[in-house]
A and B are shown apart, each in its own frame.
Chain A
């Protein structure tokens, strides 16, 4: 499946009244017949949202005919208000002053698990279910007001299902990706992502290089979002195709797509050195080692380091071996490109080309990657870049050494890594480089707060690390 989200769907019950506790689901390949899986493993058709304005909220409702068969129904603001128990009758519930008489003996809820499940299957509305739960709770009326609110919030979250369709923005995409699986984006947290754009001094008209591997295009999406039509972003990658998940999620305009040039690092450096032979030769030579390198490093990485990622992938495609998992991710990337070119109405010819590899048919006409390589090399050899960003799984040192000469003096570079150690290596190395100054190694700390009257405190859970950044300025010292 290719991924082409056109909208960000946020599922959250009390989203409209409380802060920041929704779950986010990106819609994969948005078409009218698209289905999403929210809380239950039951698909819900999204056809209803087509043609409706963004920010419309829908309620998941059980269809009359069958068990666990849901459909979306548009909600008006009035519906939402009357749905919410806490909003529709605030202060109507009696409450206790403290918990001295509440004993947790497992018997406070008179209804059994089966009875509650039956309520749901009978097609009772979520509000009715929660009402029944309260009626049958021995302790609810003795709970303090705060504790009641917490209880309701929990129950509303469990039994109410709302979906709000939102326009994708970098902020939402970054939050979703971090929340869903931070391993897939190398733990690149929003605060660190935001530091990258300022550290590289991102101007809308500038020309920037980003080398990205292992963060699903998030860093390049965030940079591209800051460029106007005059800006250029050269997205350098080591495989056949860049990872564009986040970029595709952004719904790029044509103008933005024109700002983006993706190029394989080997092809780019070869081209810039001027050592490449005829175009056909390059094509057949480069694909094999590059592909192997990616595959082997991917496999070993998943085996040794990130077992959680493997389990996620296996869960998605059960019955596949580890090698197959890697293969799927490869095809996945290919598919993304296919969908991309499909949109540009090149159609089935392109599809054939990518399926059978790059060397097919390139003798006659330059393939897309060759055109892109020429474009990138032309851009970077005519004038040096205004900044360089590295967000990579590989050790950054060799990549930085190769790309830093392409950056103009008095411009900044930023290297992100989830671990501090490779950046320490890089730091000591750069101290010896006369053409780099102002090298700094930093990390940022991020804490969220619950702000309610008389109950303000930092959130109980926080993330331990958002990754590390090494920043510096390229200068021309006159030395080599």
Chain B
């Protein structure tokens, strides 16, 4: 415990003063907005923004100016957010908005894309299938845009740790600073490393409870994943958009003694709910003696309709999940490639 606190302090001291206050934003809830906070500005169900509360900003000439944000509901002077309560209504010139706590889910829909990202329905299933809970050590590769990472961190903190790897140096460093500014830097280690080539490193050897792979060649990382996992076994999940990747990965998993190998797909459907009025024709009162077309109507009916969206994501990726049994119960068929035989 003491050791942990000490690292906390060391890291905090390295920051500029406003980052010190910012440190808690994704980690804990607080009542009022302060300078440096990251928050989500909710304008409408389809319009959300992530903003960092900096009263001042630099304009294109490099001069320090008042930070004013243009939104669909009108201009927002960022300084005015300070002191407001989270979840309260912010009046804007053409309407209003709500300032919300950042959550991994809102972050997923607002984050700057550096790669293709994984969305909440898949993320939820990944967390569930990996059996994550506070205290777990989890490995993720690659880091990508950090959409999944935020949710992984939330599931395992405060006592767990996320080791996340990306072979793209810039992506790794941007993710690292993002985690810091989101106040979750203490729960994650970001490494710039090609895990297919070099594995996950000695730091995590036989330490992980769960491994997540989102790689172009996941099967190459599977033997390294076995090395990284605890002797007591653990769960592995691989996300691949293509079936060919899944087939090769499954083959590898079977060969290395994984059991409960299962491939699945999760899709979400969001319904459009609307109240409608439908006109009702009156066909009972037709008379043999009536002339010409004459529409007779009954009282209109009110219904609540629930429509599936016209278009939706019909495919994101296949999730392949598997269990690595404890060392003593493992039966690797693929003894040539088996890497972790005690």
Residues of A within 8 A of B (CB): 15-17, 19-20, 53-57, 77, 80-81, 169-171, 190-191, 193-195, 197-199, 201-206, 225-228, 230, 386, 408-412, 420, 424-425, 427-428, 437-449, 451, 453, 456, 473-478
Please determine whether B318 and A198 come into contact, CB atoms closer than 8 angstroms. no
Mask, B307-333, CB within 8 Å of A = 1, is 000000000001010000110111101
**CB pair B42 A225 closer than 8 Å:** no
Interface residues of B in 285-341 (CB under 8 A from A): 304, 306, 318, 320, 325-326, 328-331, 333
Chain A residues with CB under 8 Å of B121's CB are 191, 195, 444
With an 8 A cutoff between CB atoms, is B233 at the interface? yes
- Whether the pair A193, B233 counts as a contact (CB closer than 8 A) is no
Interface size grouping (class) on chain B: 35 or more
Does B45 count as interface, using CB distance less than 8 angstroms?
Answer: yes
Interface string of B227-249 (1 = CB under 8 A from A): 00000010000000001001100
Pairwise interchain contact B273-A55, C-beta atoms closer than 8 A: no
Contact between chains at B264 and A449 (CB < 8 Å): yes
Contact of A424 with B273 in the complex, beta carbons under 8 Å: yes
Contact residue among A226, A427, A451 (Cβ-Cβ distance under 8 Å from B247):
A451
29 A/B residue pairs, CB under 8 Å, sorted by A:
A17-B254, A57-B329, A77-B329, A170-B131, A171-B128, A194-B127, A195-B121, A195-B124, A198-B123, A198-B151, A199-B105, A201-B103, A204-B154, A204-B157, A206-B29, A226-B133, A410-B29, A412-B103, A441-B270, A441-B306, A442-B270, A443-B268, A443-B269, A444-B267, A445-B269, A451-B320, A456-B243, A473-B87, A475-B87
Whole-angstrom distance from the CB of A140 to the nearest CB of chain B?
Answer: 24
Consensus secondary structure, chain A interface? mixed
In the complex, what residue of chain B is closest to A84 when comparing beta carbons?
A: B331
Asked if B87 contacts A16 (CB within 8 A), the reply is no
Q: Is B279 an interface residue (CB 8 A)?
A: no
Q: How far is the CA of A69 from the CA of B124 in the complex (A)?
A: 45
* B61 CB to nearest chain A CB (Å): 37
The 8 Å CB contact of A198, one of B124, B329, B330, is B124
CA distance A411 to B29 in the complex (A): 9
For the complex of A and B, list the 4 residue pairs with the smallest distance between their C-beta atoms, beginning with the closest. Answer: A409-B87, A410-B87, A194-B128, A228-B134
In the complex, whether B129 has a CB less than 8 A from a CB of chain A is yes
The answer for the CA separation of A170 and B325 in the assembled complex, in Å, is: 17
Query: Interface majority SS on B: helix, strand, loop or mixed?
Result: mixed
Do residues B265 and A478 form an inter-chain contact, with CB atoms below 8 A?
A: no
| Smallest CB separation, B245 vs chain A (Å) | 11
A16 CA / B260 CA spacing, docked (Å): 8
Q: Which residues of A contact B206 (CB under 8 A)?
A: none
Is residue B82 contacting chain A, with contact meaning CB distance below 8 A? no
CB of A449 within 8 A of CB of B263, answer yes
Closest Cβ of chain A to B240, distance in Å, is: 11
Contacts of A194 in B (CB 8 A): 124-125, 127-129
Greatest chain A CB density within 10 A among B85, B89, B304 is at B89
A55 close to B135 (CB less than 8 A): no
Assess the B88–A478 pair: CB atoms within 8 A.
Answer: yes
Bound CA span A237–B328, Å: 43
Chain B window 134-176, contacts with chain A (Cβ cutoff 8 Å), 1 for yes, 0 for no: 1100000000000000010011011100000000000000000
